[in-house]
Structure 1
């Protein structure tokens, strides 16, 4: 009996040791897998040299939450309102000035009837809050708009001086594409398409970020290769503008 008890204890101890070794091996495999995944993610170059998370790229806060569908109800509401406006003005051919006048007529008529009917039913008239634009908000918007316009003008000046041929060609190509779209679509439809893209493309990109970045890295390498061939054969032979501004 004693020998049988000792052999049973030895078997249990060996089983525990084998379980511990297998669990440690599985932990090592998990750690190795997680480290390999993290190293693989670190090797992937983000699009446009992005280093921050996509939420911070969009400025954070409520606008980023809307574009990335962090608040699904608010994003769906905004997209639904934009779709309703596009259908109202584009498909039903309703005019903005007509809509504003009809809305004001309806609102003023309802408030006027409510205010006069409250005297007969012994109820207080509706409280209409006073709406005014704060001075700080108007100043901040004007300063931000001024900064963006000045930056755009400075970029256009740098391009016009001929210092960056690659940027010049990209801007020309972008303006050419916008001109084609403007000839095919009106401003409201173009604005609606851009609005829908802002509510769909960032969300899809964030969901499949690693795959898209990996594909973008390969495409960027191929574009650089083709641009190098074009630069060596054609662009390098084009005379460039002055490198420095003339001082008066």
Structure 2
């Protein structure tokens, strides 16, 4: 739970650009990765990334070996400190994260069951409308394009919202009132038995 809380805080700090250098690096890398996936297959992108990493580490190792040979020093392996670090995942930590994931998965499954088995007609109709709208989005964009747009929005909307919070909140309140009014009108037109179910 503490890990999830700290992770959420780290993500919030990144998207709000609290540390511009760190946010810039994460945004640049994530956008570059998504653009690479749009142009190449996942296997190619992963292979090129690992190959680039290997080239850097091998070059650094050779460079350090040459420097040690020229200076006749005995510094040892350049990555010794990193190799001595424990990179294994303790079973308790793994179980804890699995339990957190399982809680979220069970919540999602419960909600999906409720929506698809029409426990609440209005909520199921809302889902149907969203899915219908997504068919049009899917016809225009593919999945990777949506992820690229989501990445750009994730790093641009929070700072814009922080600067124009009052105006945006006012527009959101107006939109929410309109949506609630429309839903109320639709509920009035539902048959009596369905209205009673909604009221309960």
| TM score, norm. by length of structure 1 | 0.60
CA distance in 1, matches of 2:63, 2:54: 14
CA distance in 1, matches of 2:154, 2:57: 36
Q: Give 2:19's match in structure 1, choosing from 71, 75, 85.
A: 71
Which structure 1 residue ranges, 5 or more long, are not aligned?
1-56, 244-248
How do residues 1-248 of structure 1 correspond to structure 2 at under 5 angstroms?
Answer: 61-91=9-39, 93=40, 95-107=44-56, 109-111=58-60, 113-114=62-63, 116-117=65-66, 120-121=69-70, 122-123=72-73, 124=75, 125-128=77-80, 129-130=82-83, 132-135=87-90, 136-233=92-189, 236-237=190-191
Using CA pairs under 8 Å that are at least 6 residues apart, name the structure with larger relative contact order, 1 or 2.
2
1:152 CA drift (Å): 0.2
| TM score, norm. by length of structure 2 | 0.73
1:81 CA drift (Å): 1.7
Q: RMSD of the alignment, in Å?
A: 3.1
**Structure 1 or 2: larger helix share?**
2
1:238 CA drift (Å): 9.0
Once the two structures are superposed, residues 146-184 of structure 1 have per-residue CA deviations (whole angstroms, 9 ceiling, x without a partner) of: 111110001111223322222212222333334443443
CA distance in 2, matches of 1:170, 1:227: 10
User: What is the count of residue pairs matched by the alignment?
Assistant: 182
SS of 1:162 mapped into structure 2: coil
SS of 1:120 mapped into structure 2: helix
CA gap 1:195/1:238 in 2 versus in 1, 3 angstroms:
farther
Which structure 2 residue ranges, 5 or more long, are not aligned?
none
CA distance in 2, matches of 1:75, 1:159: 37
